[in-house]
């Protein structure tokens, strides 16, 4: 792994390998990096969240999409995104039901 991480969210899918999102480095500073590996030896970095999110959740939806959600240090700043292999994030909106 490029650097030590703790408090990260992670998910595995055969087509993505192991994907590890955000967390904290070995000095306790938060990170916005998202990395993946298919062999545990070689790592690549995906584009970081568009928002500086913490307390993230990561789910691999299928061969081409990831679901990423979280909030900043304020839980009212919740945001959720779909990331596609085309290196694009789509922000999901909160549509309240009446």
**Which pLDDT score, from 0 to 100, does residue 25 have?**
78
Q: How confident is the model at residue 3 (pLDDT cuts 50, 70, 90)?
A: low
8 Å CB contact between 79 and 62: no
pLDDT over threshold 70, residue 14: yes
- Bridge partners (DSSP) of residue 51 are none
pLDDT over threshold 60, residue 78: yes
8 Å CB contact between 25 and 42: no
Residue 13 tokens read as 């899918």
Distances (CA, A) of 39 to 8, 46, 86: 19, 16, 22
Residue 28 tokens read as 């306790």
pLDDT over threshold 60, residue 96: no
Tell me the per-residue pLDDT of 47-69, one tens digit each, with 9 for 90 and over. 887 776 667 889 999 999 999 88
């Amino acid at each position: 792994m490029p650097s030590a991480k703790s408090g990260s969210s992670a998910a595995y899918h055969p087509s993505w390998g192991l994907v590890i999102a955000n967390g904290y480095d070995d000095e306790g500073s938060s990170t916005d990096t998202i990395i993946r590996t298919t062999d545990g030896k070689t790592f690549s970095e995906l584009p970081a969240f568009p928002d500086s999110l913490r307390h993230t959740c990561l789910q691999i939806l299928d061969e081409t999409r990831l679901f990423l959600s979280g909030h900043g240090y304020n839980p009212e700043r919740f945001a959720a995104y779909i990331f596609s292999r085309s290196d694009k994030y789509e922000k999901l909106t909160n549509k309240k039901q009446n």
